[in-house]
Every structure is written in structure tokens, then in C-alpha cells.
Chains A and B, each alone.
Chain A
Amino acid sequence: MALFSIFPRRKTFDHGIYPVEHKELTADKPIRRLPFAPELVIPLEQHKGKPAIPTVRVGQEVVRGEPIAEADGHVSVPMHAPATGVISDIALAPTAAGPKALAIYLKVYQAASQRVLFGLERDLATLSREALVAAVQQAGLVGLGGAAFPSHVKLMPPAGRTIETVLVNGCECEPYLTCDHRIMLEQTESLVRGIELVLRATGAERAIIGVEDNKLDAVEHLRRQLPAHLPITAEAVRTKYPQGAERMLITSLTGREVPIGGLPADVGVAVYNVGTLAQMGELLPKGQGLIERVVTVSGPGVERPGNFMVPVGTPVRFLLEQVGLKDSYGEVILGGPMMGMAVASLDVAVTKAVSGVVVLEREDLDLAERKVYPCIKCGACVEACPISLNPSVLGELAQVREYAAMAEHYHLDQCFECGCCAYVCPSNIPLTQYFRIAKAINREDK
């Protein structure tokens, strides 16, 4: 081993960037619990697909863990009460994306217990594959890495496709975020149980946990803890952004590329975030629903950064009050700083998809808001794009509003807005934002 680590040739994908990680702020901060916020705001649309339908009425008392909204069809998940209290309202609430959306307001009873009071323990060994998939949906599980895609949907590949390999995403390539790192270290048992469940539900032959090599302690830890009788391995991949993007990780670990317009299932793969599987392994045996998640609260604008188990619906304002917000703060980002969204209001609530709250100071932003020069065709963006697009040409087309040509000739739709191009651009051209706008306009034109 020592011989190999002299020239570590870690598996990886082409292109990508190496932003400063800033993970040292929270990497050694164990997951802690906080008191409940006095009021939780639980949006009904926290996942991809159809919003959940409320099953409670205003004034109704609920206990922690009780279902409060049901799934609307297959691509949808139910919601559960994150705390014991009373439903105070079902009304519009601010969201990170901008437009207000329907949410359930929950007044938390003072001195409410953190114990989950609702759930039905069961023996998973007797469950059929279909019943397992149904149980995953009932638990309200979605991709906790940020995509928030309902987890049970990925357990059932389209007809004609089989899942051979389950990839467990522990890359956490976004700067500042360390919640997945802590989960791998602290919730190993649940994680392994979750992987085992997914292996059973998909019928896959093996599972690989992919971890960036800036978390070798987690790799070592997992290797020690993984039971020998299960076909699960842990593998280090190169620390490079966006290693944790689904398609990039698939290429790094299997050498295959998901075809354009295809699904990971097309190459026999399903990808799950470590946080999702740790929750699955924790909740399913107890028959409980997803009501909290690990959130990294970090950044130069935060006084006491750390990792916290945060009930879904906790307003960002409350969370930041607990850790101390510096006066010099400028931007409050949900998720990581590369792909996350800056909130317009601190009243936005933490949802299932929020892996981090990163607070940048105004100085950091001034640095990012420099003079925009014309494109000097340096090719840095072409060298950075993990999908091998040509952001230089796409940017020029966007400037003359040739949005249709961007999609037709230059594969605009493959862009997943990782931000690499805008990050490296020496001319400070907001390429990623150009592409977001172009895609939105193309969608409307359709």
C-alpha cells in the first residue's frame, strides 16, 4: 500500500477543477443536535416530481414522525412531522428557488422530545422486493445529496434494464461541505444496512462506495467496518470537482459513460448518496419517515461552524442564530458554493435536499464580482467542462441570443450547471448563468 501511495493514481473522470476545499472548518466536527425551532415550515414540494398532498388540517396535533402529507402518485413522496406540535397553518412560504410555494406550518410544543414517537418496527428480511420499494417510498426518502429525486423510483429500473452495480456516493466534492464525511464516520452501521437493502431491492451484484481521497480516513474506516459477507467495497477517487456528480462518479468508478439522454440504469448502475442510504438503513427497520438530515453549516460568515442533525422545516434564520452569524455576511447559500442557491430571505426552511448552509462574507463576493472582459478564447472552460461541452462557443451564442442553436448544435441540454466554466473564466463571463437562462428559454419555447 505504501508503495502505491507514492504515486497515487486515483480513479477519476476527464476535466474538472480544483477549487479550495475549506473542509477543515468542519471536517472534525461531530454531528450535533440543536433545540427545535419554535415553528417549522415544511414545503410540500421538497423533491423532484409531484408535490405531496397534506393529510392534516390546521389546528391538528401531530407527534414527531407522524405522516402529515401523502405522496401524489409514483414520482412523489410523503412528509412526516419533524416535531411534536400543532399544525398552525397551510399556506405559501418562501423557498430558495424564489417563488413562494405551499407549506405546512408546524408550531412545536415547548420541551417537545427529540424521540420519534411514531413508527412500526418490522422484520425487513421477510419483505418482498416490491414491499421494500413501497417501504422506501413510505419513508419519504429522496436523494439527500442535493438532487432530491425520490429514492424508490431508482430502485425500479425501466423494463429491459438491470442494475448490476450500486454506486454509493461519498465524494462530497463541493467546497465547505462535510456532512457526508461525518455520516460515513459516525453512521457506518446504518449506511451498511442501507446499502444491503438497496442491493436486495435492486438485485445488484455489488456495491462500491466512492470517496474522494481527501477523506482517506473515511475510506479506511469503512474498509474496517464493512462486513466480509457483503459484496461492498470502498474506493478512493481523486479529489476533483465535480467528482460527486452522478455521471462523473459513474465514469470514475466503472469507466462507462451514461449515453446522452439516458439513465444510469442504461449502463447497469444506480447511484445513491451516503446520507440517503444511512437514513434508509436507520428508518426502514423502525418503519419511520425522513424527518431530519445532517447539514453542514459553515463558511467565513459563520462564527461556530459545524455539522448538525437538523429537522426538516427548520428556518435558516434559526439555524444561523444557533451558530452565530457574523455582521460581515453577504450571501447565505443552501447547498455548496459551486451549485447551491443563495437565499433571498432567511425565512427559507431547510428541506430534505439541503446538505449545507454556507455563508460567504461580502469580501469573498467582491472578489467574485470583477470586471467582465470579452472572451479571449483561452480555452480554460473547454478544459474544465466535465461533460466536454464547448462553453466558449456556447457563451458567444448566448450573448447573441441564439438559444436554439446552443441546444441543437452544442449539446446545451447536457449541461448540469456544475459551474466549472464560470469558475475558471479569466474574463469573468457568467457562463453558467447564461446557460441556465438559455435552457429556461428553450423550455418555454417548446
Chain B
Amino acid sequence: MAKGIEIRTSPHLKKVLTVDQIMRSVVLALLPVSAFAVYQFGLSVLLLLITTTVVAVATEWLFARLSGRGNTVADWSAVITGLLLGLTLPPGFPLWMAAVAAFVGIALGKALFGGLGYNVMNPALVGRAFVQAAFPVAITTWTPAFAPERFSELIPSTLTLPFMQPVPIDDWVAGLGLDAWSGATPLALQKFQQIELPLGEVFSGTIAGSAGETSAILILVCGLWLAWRRMLDWRIPVAVMAGAALTALPFWLLDPALYPSPWFVLCSGGLMLGAWFMASDMVASPVTARGAIIYGLFIGVLTVIIRLFGGLVEGVMYAILLANALGPLISGWTQPRVYGAGSRPKA
């Protein structure tokens, strides 16, 4: 009767939710955002997303093999990195540069720290920061949304040969026959020309910008779905948005003509994508509830400060990377109060 009796230690029950399930859900939540990016900018973005994802997964596989950690591709985390990275790049970004970004993101941002769970910063943003420094022109070259031939032809810079600078795309853009194309994102328009695009456009995303950051509403819906499924900590995006809006508010009240409105701040640039999908990266954010709020607020505040007073137009990326670096410190400050600590015996 006692054949094959099993012995485990308690707890003998286990919640059915594993890392790969969480990661798969995040990928699923990113798919609508990716689809809209392809719809908006055409074939170039499709190739861009495929490139970053494939290179990210390949790099993950390579380093897992080199370090003998077994097959870590199956946890799907590299797919998220690849997709996210692609979504933060300009639509016409040369593919070879995108591949460099994906490789650096996984290799430098993740594998060198020991792989999933040990990275200090969000790997996708590490990759993006690298190419921001390496290819400053290409990463600030924007193309118009809804170009007429976007499903039949590529943006000329997409297929730049490796180690070559991309061709200028001004002629190509002029050939599209779009009026009033300034080559600037809504953020840049606001910052340098004080032209604030209508809120409806930045909210729905029918504007220029990085491939997947333009539609605030779509990102919001996908993020909320993840939060509802408890696969991301809602405190982080909420704190990021609160921090950004509250920092922007006094400036806007002082001088609405010069400074952007809090709504514009929330819906423009990479703030939504950053708040919902990058700041909320579990590995690089604090584990405690209070820590998550401090961390989120810090990102929001810093983003707006960089945007308003820094030399850069966009500040989400550096704000998140900086907050990532502070994450362990914030966790340390916000250790939970242990049950019974400070409770006095009743006399």
C-alpha cells in the first residue's frame, strides 16, 4: 500500500501562476500596441519589431548557452524586451541599429547581471539608451504617421546597410505630399515652438513619434488589462502619472502659453508606454508597496523636469533608468513594518 508514497514539505498547495505565464500575458498586452504601430507606420515598423524581438531572443539564447543556465528563452522575458525596445524606436530606424540596440539591451542590460531577475535596469531601456548615445541623428529622425504608401514601401532609412549612416529622408517625406510636416514630435513642437497639438490627437495617437508610444489610450487599456489580471503593480503607473501631472501643473498654471498642460504631459511622448510597461518591470522596481509609490512618483517628477528644463525633448527613458538604479535603495528604505513591532504589552 505504501508504494510510491510522496513526501514534500508544506505548503502542499501552490497557486497556479508562474513567471512564464506572467511574461506571456505582458507579451499579449503588447500585441495591440504593436499592431497599431504597424497600422500607423507601415511595413517598416513590422520589420523593426521583428528585428528587435528576434535579436533579443537570439542574444538571450546565446548568453544562456554560454553561461550554462539552460534554456531561458522559454520564460518569454526576452520577447518582452525585444518588443518594448522596438516600440520605443523611431519608425524609420535602421534595422541594423535596432539589432545593435537589442543585442546591447539583453547582453549588457540583462545577461551580464545574471539573467532574468538579476538585472538592475530595464534591458529594453538600456538598449535604447545605448543607441541614443551612439546614433543621435537616427534616433531623432521622425516620419509622418499614415503615409499613403506605408504598406507597400519601406521608409528609406529602414534598410540602411550595416555600419552605414542612414540616408536623409527629407526628399522621401517631401515626396509624400503631406502638408505642414515639420519632422518634429508633439513634444518637440511644444517645447521649441510652443505649439500644443490637440489633446484628441495625442490621446488617440494619430501623430509622429516612436513606433509604439503614440496612442496613449491604447497603452492605457492594455496596461489596465494587465493590472486587472494582477500581472503588474498598478501603484507604479499611477504614481508615475500622478508625479508627472502634479509636477507639470504649477508651471502650466503660471504660464499656459509656455508650459504644457498636465494632460498633454501625460499623453505625449513615451510617458504612457514607460509608465505602464517599463517602469512597472517587476525585476527593476522595488518590491514593497510604499517603495513602488515612491519609485513611480520619482519617475514622473524627473520626466517632467527633464522635459521642461533639460536639453532633451523626452525624459521618460532616463528617468526610469535612474529610478531603476535607485530601486534597491528605495526597497531598503521601505521595508514593511513587521507584525507586532512597536506594539506595547498591555499593563
Chain A residues proximal to chain B, CB less than 8 Å: 17, 19-20, 160-161, 175, 247, 251, 256-262, 266-268, 317, 325, 329-333, 337-346, 358, 360, 362, 364-365, 367-371, 373-379, 382-383, 385-390, 392-393, 410-411, 414, 417, 419-420, 422-424, 426-428, 430, 432-433, 436
The interface bits of chain B over 3-16 (1 if a CB of A lies within 8 angstroms of the residue's CB, else 0) are 01111111111111
Q: Are B287 and A382 in contact (CB under 8 A)?
A: yes
Q: How many angstroms from the CA of A370 to the CA of B74 in the assembled complex?
A: 14
Which of B12, B331, B343 has the largest number of chain A CB atoms within 10 A? B12
Q: How many angstroms from the CA of A410 to the CA of B338 in the assembled complex?
A: 9
Q: In angstroms, how far is the closest chain A Cβ from the Cβ of B252?
A: 34
Choose, from B18-26, B204-212, B221-229, the stretch at the interface: B18-26
The chain B residue with its CB closest to the CB of A368 is B14
The chain B residue with its CB closest to the CB of A378 is B282
Q: How many angstroms from the CA of A370 to the CA of B21 in the assembled complex?
A: 12
Which of B283, B284, B339, B344 has the largest number of chain A CB atoms within 10 A? B339
Assuming the A-B contacts A367-B14, A373-B19, A424-B15, are A432 and B9 also in contact, with contact meaning beta carbons closer than 8 angstroms in the complex?
yes
Q: Are A257 and B335 in contact (CB under 8 A)?
A: no
Chain B: residues with Cβ within 8 Å of the partner, total of: 50
Q: Are A341 and B287 in contact (CB under 8 A)?
A: no
Contacts of B344 in A (CB 8 A): 259
Assuming the A-B contacts A388-B339, A390-B288, A414-B338, are A342 and B12 also in contact, with contact meaning beta carbons closer than 8 angstroms in the complex?
yes
Q: Are B13 and A338 in contact (CB under 8 A)?
A: yes
Q: Are B343 and A257 in contact (CB under 8 A)?
A: yes
Q: Are B2 and A338 in contact (CB under 8 A)?
A: no
Q: How many angstroms from the CA of A257 to the CA of B345 in the assembled complex?
A: 9
Q: In angstroms, how far is the closest chain B Cβ from the Cβ of A271?
A: 15
Contacts of B21 in A (CB 8 A): 426
21 CB < 8 A contacts A-B: A160-B347, A260-B341, A267-B343, A267-B345, A325-B1, A337-B11, A342-B7, A342-B8, A343-B5, A345-B5, A358-B12, A364-B12, A368-B12, A368-B13, A373-B18, A373-B116, A379-B288, A389-B336, A393-B331, A424-B15, A427-B19
Q: How many angstroms from the CA of A358 to the CA of B345 in the assembled complex?
A: 38
Q: In angstroms, how far is the closest chain B Cβ from the Cβ of A141?
A: 26
Q: How many angstroms from the CA of A330 to the CA of B5 in the assembled complex?
A: 6
B75 at the interface (CB under 8 A from A): yes
Contacts of A358 in B (CB 8 A): 12
Q: Which of B5, B283, B287, B340 is close to A260, meaning CB atoms less than 8 Å apart?
A: B340
Q: Are A426 and B12 in contact (CB under 8 A)?
A: no
Q: How many angstroms from the CA of A286 to the CA of B11 in the assembled complex?
A: 39
Q: In angstroms, how far is the closest chain A Cβ from the Cβ of B213?
A: 25
Q: Which of B10, B19, B283, B339 is close to A432, meaning CB atoms less than 8 Å apart?
A: B10
Contacts of B346 in A (CB 8 A): 161, 256, 266-268
Q: Are A379 and B345 in contact (CB under 8 A)?
A: no
Assuming the A-B contacts A374-B118, A430-B9, are A262 and B18 also in contact, with contact meaning beta carbons closer than 8 angstroms in the complex?
no
Assuming the A-B contacts A419-B11, A426-B18, A428-B14, are A374 and B117 also in contact, with contact meaning beta carbons closer than 8 angstroms in the complex?
yes
Assuming the A-B contacts A19-B13, A331-B8, A426-B17, are A346 and B343 also in contact, with contact meaning beta carbons closer than 8 angstroms in the complex?
no
Q: Which of B12, B116, B338 is close to A338, meaning CB atoms less than 8 Å apart?
A: B12
Q: Are B22 and A426 in contact (CB under 8 A)?
A: yes
Q: Which of A385, A388, A392, A428 is close to B18, meaning CB atoms less than 8 Å apart?
A: A428
Contacts of B339 in A (CB 8 A): 247, 251, 257-258, 260, 386-388, 414
Q: In angstroms, how far is the closest chain A Cβ from the Cβ of B346?
A: 5
Q: Which of A19, A257, A367, A392 is close to B340, meaning CB atoms less than 8 Å apart?
A: A257
Q: In angstroms, how far is the closest chain B Cβ from the Cβ of A359?
A: 10
Q: How many angstroms from the CA of A278 to the CA of B236 in the assembled complex?
A: 50
Q: Are A258 and B338 in contact (CB under 8 A)?
A: no
Contacts of A411 in B (CB 8 A): 338, 341
Q: Are A423 and B340 in contact (CB under 8 A)?
A: no
Contacts of A423 in B (CB 8 A): 11, 13-15
Q: In angstroms, how far is the closest chain B Cβ from the Cβ of A122?
A: 35
Q: Are A379 and B282 in contact (CB under 8 A)?
A: yes
Assuming the A-B contacts A260-B340, A390-B287, are A360 and B5 also in contact, with contact meaning beta carbons closer than 8 angstroms in the complex?
no
17 further contact pairs, Cβ within 8 A, besides A259-B345, A267-B346, A427-B19: A247-B340, A260-B341, A267-B345, A331-B5, A358-B12, A362-B6, A373-B19, A373-B20, A376-B282, A378-B282, A378-B287, A382-B289, A390-B287, A390-B336, A420-B11, A423-B13, A433-B9
Q: In angstroms, how far is the closest chain B Cβ from the Cβ of A361?
A: 10
Q: Are A346 and B287 in contact (CB under 8 A)?
A: no
